[in-house]
Amino acid sequence: MNSQPSLASLVVALFDLARLGLPADVERLAGRLGIEPSRVTGALAELERRGLADARRVRLSLAGLALASQLDMERSARELFAIEPAAQGGSANEAPRARRAAA
Query: What total of structural domains would you count in the chain?
Result: 1
pTM: 0.71
In a domain, 17, yes or no: yes
In a domain, 2, yes or no: no
CA-only gyration radius of the chain, Å: 15
Q: How far apart are CA 72 and CA 77, in angstroms?
A: 9
In a domain, 97, yes or no: no
In a domain, 89, yes or no: no
In a domain, 29, yes or no: yes
Range of the domain at 27: 7-73
pLDDT at 3 over 70: no
Cα end-to-end distance, the chain, whole Å: 40
Residue-wise burial string across 35-49, b where 16 or more C-beta atoms lie within 10 A, e elsewhere: bbeebbeebbeebbe
pLDDT in tens, 29-79: 999 999 999 999 999 999 999 999 999 999 999 999 999 999 989 988 888
- 46: domain CATH number is 1.10.10.10
Q: If you ran DSSP here, which 8-state letter would residue 4 be given?
A: S
In a domain, 56, yes or no: yes
DSSP H helices, the chain, are 7-19, 26-33, 37-49, 62-81, 94-102
On average, the pLDDT of the chain sits at: 84
In a domain, 52, yes or no: yes
